[in-house]
Amino acid sequence: MSEPEIVVETTRHRGIYLLPNLFTTAALFAGFYAIVAGMKGQFEHSAIALFIAMVMDGLDGRVARLTGTQSAFGAQYDSLSDMVSFGLAPALVSFNWALSQLGKLGWLAAFIYAAATALRLARFNIQLDTNKDKRFFIGLSCTAAAAVVAGMIWLGTDLEIPGKKISIIVALILVSLAILMVSNLKYYSFKEVDFKGHVPFFAVLVVVLIFSVIAWDPPSILFAVFFLYALSGPALWLKNRYKK
């Protein structure tokens, strides 16, 4: 009589990749700090924190691709972090800085911006596998929209312009950004830029020049760059329409 076989079942423990999610957590923390600083009236700190969140958000995806640590968890975590850092944070900081002066219209403009960010992220997630042309985003990215808002707030505080004196302009900018985020306008994604390949020495000099220009006057330069990028979508649409 043979002895019964003992079957040992091995369970595979599922985990998450630490490195890219650290950058995502850093972006989430920066967005949360921007909200807290805005509640304290430290609007310059809020704007800088939003730009830091943007940098961290740009790094997490690239680090995941470079190290082969992409995961479904990371994609969902990144989307939730983006909603806080680039949806709720810009809306709430803008409300505390300028829109509270408008009463119901102020918080309505802030809500429209936050809701548009949620819609933009949801549409981006479901179109991620179906969008074959990776050169372009459909609609303004929530990261770029938040950069316009952060640049506007930083520039306003740097020029000592009280936000409540330009509350109408701030509300119009937020609503316009919300419309651009949910629109079907195309925006260049810069995903064709190869960070792993060899580049000419001149390209390094250009990068140094760009950083030098930004360091010369960060509020003005950053606001101008991202504001022009936000306008590039309608400009590209008008160009294509003119050709037709």
* Residues 27-56 pLDDT 10s: 999 999 999 999 999 999 999 999 999 999
Q: Does a structural domain hold residue 1? A: no
Considering the chain, what is the average pLDDT of its residues? Answer: 86
Between CA 242 and CA 234 the distance in angstroms is: 12
Between CA 181 and CA 112 the distance in angstroms is: 11
Res 113: pLDDT:
97
Tell whether the torsion through CA atoms of 121, 125, 126 and 129 is positive or negative. Answer: positive
Q: Does a structural domain hold residue 8? A: no
pLDDT tens digits, one per residue of 107-117: 999 999 999 99
Between CA 13 and CA 56 the distance in angstroms is: 28
Return the percentage of the chain with pLDDT > 70, whole number. Answer: 85
Q: Does a structural domain hold residue 6? A: no
Between CA 171 and CA 94 the distance in angstroms is: 9
Q: Does a structural domain hold residue 214? A: yes
135: β partners: none
Label residue 5 by pLDDT band (50, 70, 90).
Answer: very low
Given a cut of 50, whether residue 103 has pLDDT beyond it is yes
pLDDT tens digits, one per residue of 64-86: 777 777 788 888 889 999 999 99
What CATH number corresponds to the domain at position 188? 1.20.120.1760
Q: Strand (E) positions, 29-134?
A: none
CB atoms within 10 A of CB 113: 31
Q: What is the DSSP letter of 103?
A: T
Q: Does a structural domain hold residue 5? A: no
How many structural domains does the chain have?
A: 1
3: β partners: none
Name every residue whose Cβ is closer than 8 Å to that of residue 134 and which is 6 or more positions away in sequence.
189, 191, 192
Label residue 13 by pLDDT band (50, 70, 90).
Answer: very low
The amino acid occupying position 57 is: D
Largest CA distance in the chain: 93
SS3 192: coil
Domain that holds residue 84: 18-243
Whole-model pTM: value is 0.86
Q: Does a structural domain hold residue 9? A: no
Q: Are 50 and 89 in contact (CB under 8 A)?
A: yes
Q: Does a structural domain hold residue 98? A: yes
SS3 13: coil
